[in-house]
Structure 1
Amino acid sequence: MQSLYEELFLGPLGQESADDRKARVAAARDVLAHLRESAEDDQISAADAAYAEALSRAVRLRPRSRRQALRGAA
């Protein structure tokens, strides 16, 4: 199960429409801006901002299908 931060900054595990992605990315930018502002006075917000920034630079790896896994094992 992915966390709310992972879903917000990496996107859902499944498909995402272009409109949904655009809305999610805009929300992620707003959340990150708020965390950065709060980080000036709050260490927990600073840690959350660092985590959010790291997630925003990450690339979600798609799990291999069972078929791909079996081909790779042969």
Structure 2
Amino acid sequence: PTPAQRAAARAAGESPGGSIMIHGQWDGFGWLGWLMQNYDWTNGCIGLANSDIDEMWTMIAWNTPVEIIP
């Protein structure tokens, strides 16, 4: 969050959040990828099907910076 977003959250008595991650599904739930993509199950993160995470690992180097633009 930006300093302004942190200040607004503090004034509202809320958490401004923190790390936004890109991740797959919980262990053992990969078979639900087709269904889980229809729901907001990540609490603000970017959720991918486990098969998409596997593909992403083959295309992007470790520690590559990612810019998230809403």
TM-score bracket for this pair, using the shorter chain length: under 0.3
Which structure is higher in RCO with an 8 Å CA cutoff and minimum separation 6? Answer: 1
Structure number with the higher strand fraction is 2
TM-score (norm 2): 0.26
**Rg bigger for which structure?**
1
TM-score (norm 1): 0.26
